């Protein structure tokens, strides 16, 4: 379609322009734009360079994707969505009434450049974050999970999942991974041997957190966050070095995914593997499904009223979730991914498993096409907020934005709760000059 080529042409110009300005300005907004480009714009390139995913061969499991992906009006609106989001991400810069990096704090706690040092309190916070998931595994009687690569594909899956703690282990693992990366990536305000010991401990905890989650998505998250921190440390270096690093990392993740799918999952043939990789790594299909559901509610309907999925995920806040799990309170809980999966396979919600989603299709499903404007503006303010914090906090908040572009909100609410607590803690200590 002509609109696709117009979208790709303008998107490529904006991408090049973002790299040209890199030495002038690099922040979380720019990096999130690159992430958005890969997850949502790149699939449009792949449609023409490699081919479209073959959803029809999956039968009823991909019913929604099959009828929505090539709908002409849906594709036109998707192209408009891509262009509008990119314009907002790159050129809409709302000013917030926040001081950059707090009060007159010392550079060692604020700017994570190549010469910066992490203070002892930040190190302590990171280690607490990194030990939550491993401690859950140990206390639940499954320390084996921490040293078993790919336990989901082995005998431990059924046994560990029955304990009910595995869901929380997964969610806290993302917090642990980002905390370990921060410790490993930056200098520590201690002597050489303590520095070495803490980084070694962080590497061990990083491996434990990766094993605890044991999905390919956490490897992708690890790479995405590592690249972001690398940019923060090396803002003045040749951008092509970083691009090469990104490409190598992407190839590595794809290679791991192909190995898992063929060796453990039994996939074979280019079409089947290519289609499942598209589903795993990109979110263009879910956005198109949400758009299609607004255009043709008689064929596909994800939600019944605005705010429905947000209200039904309230029970996934950590403390409330524990109370619900113990039967102390009774609150209905349905993740947005369950709503979308039910629409995807045309089945009751009770029979739906969990398809990966994003903040963008959830906004569209809740608010119609107005959701594109709503999520774009809210995301722009969110990125401005994140960029006005300390760099340590910016990494945490931008990573939340990345996670919400990969998962349903119910899956990452625990992460959000933790970084809100850290934000309050940091503001209190900055005010008291304790960091």
- Residue 109 predicted with pLDDT over 70: no
* 231 has a pLDDT exceeding 50: yes
Residue 145 lies in a domain: yes
Per-residue confidence (pLDDT) for residue 157, from 0 to 100: 62
Q: How many CB atoms lie within 10 A of CB 145?
A: 25
Distance CA 44, CA 51 (A): 10
The answer to whether residue 243 sits within a structural domain is no
Residue 432 within a domain: no
The boundaries of the domain holding residue 399 are 2-101+255-427
pLDDT in tens, 384-405: 999 888 878 889 999 999 999 9
Percent of the chain beyond pLDDT 90?
41
Q: Are residues 268 and 407 in the same domain?
A: yes
Q: What is the pLDDT of residues 142-187, one digit of tens each?
A: 788 788 776 665 556 666 666 667 778 888 999 999 999 988 887 7
Provide the number of structural domains found in the chain.
2
Widest pairwise Cα distance in the chain: 66
* Confidence band, pLDDT 50/70/90 cuts, at residue 113: very low
- Model pLDDT for residues 5-51, shown as the tens digit of each residue: 999 999 999 998 888 766 666 788 988 999 999 999 999 999 999 99
Most trustworthy range by pLDDT among 155-159, 209-213, 285-289:
285-289
Percent of the chain with pLDDT over 70: 85
Residue 344's pLDDT band, with cuts at 50, 70 and 90, is: very high
Nearest-angstrom CA–CA distance, 207 and 222:
11
Q: Is residue 250 part of a domain?
A: no
Tell me: do 73 and 175 sit in the same domain: no
Residue 290 scores a pLDDT above 90 = yes
Reading the block at residue 146, the tokens are: 């921490």
Residue 302 counted as domain residue = yes
Tally the C-alpha atoms within 13 A of residue 270's C-alpha that lie toward its C-beta: 3
């Amino acid at each position: 379609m002509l609109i696709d080529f117009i979208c790709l042409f303008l998107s490529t110009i904006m991408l090049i322009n973002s790299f040209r300005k890199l030495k002038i300005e690099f922040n979380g907004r720019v990096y999130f734009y690159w992430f958005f480009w890969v997850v949502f714009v790149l699939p449009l390139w792949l449609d023409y360079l490699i081919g479209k995913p073959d959803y029809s061969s999956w039968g009823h499991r991909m019913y929604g994707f099959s009828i929505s992906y090539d709908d002409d009006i849906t594709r036109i609106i998707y192209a408009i969505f891509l262009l509008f989001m990119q314009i907002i991400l790159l050129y809409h810069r709302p000013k917030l009434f926040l001081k950059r990096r707090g009060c007159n704090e010392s550079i060692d706690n604020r700017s994570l450049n190549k010469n910066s040092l992490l203070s002892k309190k930040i190190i302590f916070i990171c280690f607490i974050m990194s030990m939550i998931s491993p401690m859950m595994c140990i206390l639940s009687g499954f320390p084996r999970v921490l040293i078993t690569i790919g336990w989901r594909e082995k005998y431990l899956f059924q046994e560990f999942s029955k304990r009910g703690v595995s869901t929380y282990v997964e969610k806290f693992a993302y917090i642990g991974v980002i905390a370990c990366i921060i410790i490993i990536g930056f200098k520590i305000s201690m002597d050489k041997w303590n520095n070495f010991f803490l980084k070694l401990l962080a590497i061990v905890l990083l491996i434990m957190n990766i094993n605890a989650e044991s999905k390919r998505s956490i490897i992708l998250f690890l790479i995405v966050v590592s690249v972001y921190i690398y940019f923060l440390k090396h803002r003045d270096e040749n951008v092509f070095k970083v691009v090469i690093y990104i490409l190598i990392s992407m190839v590595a993740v794809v290679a791991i995914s192909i190995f898992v799918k063929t060796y453990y999952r039994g996939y074979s043939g280019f079409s089947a593997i290519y289609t499942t990789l598209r589903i795993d790594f990109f979110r263009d299909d879910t956005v198109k499904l949400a758009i299609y559901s607004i255009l043709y509610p008689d064929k596909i309907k994800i939600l019944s009223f605005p705010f429905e999925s947000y209200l039904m995920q309230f029970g996934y806040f950590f403390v409330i979730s524990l109370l619900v799990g113990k039967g102390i309170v009774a609150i209905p809980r349905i993740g947005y991914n369950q709503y979308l999966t039910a629409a995807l396979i045309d089945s009751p919600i009770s029979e739906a498993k969990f398809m990966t989603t994003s903040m963008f299709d959830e906004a569209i499903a809740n608010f119609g096409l107005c959701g594109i404007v709503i999520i774009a503006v809210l995301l722009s303010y969110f990125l401005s907020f994140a960029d006005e914090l300390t760099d340590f906090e910016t990494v945490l908040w931008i990573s939340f934005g990345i996670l919400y572009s990969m998962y349903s909100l119910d899956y990452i609410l625990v992460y959000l709760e933790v970084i809100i607590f850290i934000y309050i803690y940091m503001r209190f200590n900055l005010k008291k000059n304790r960091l």
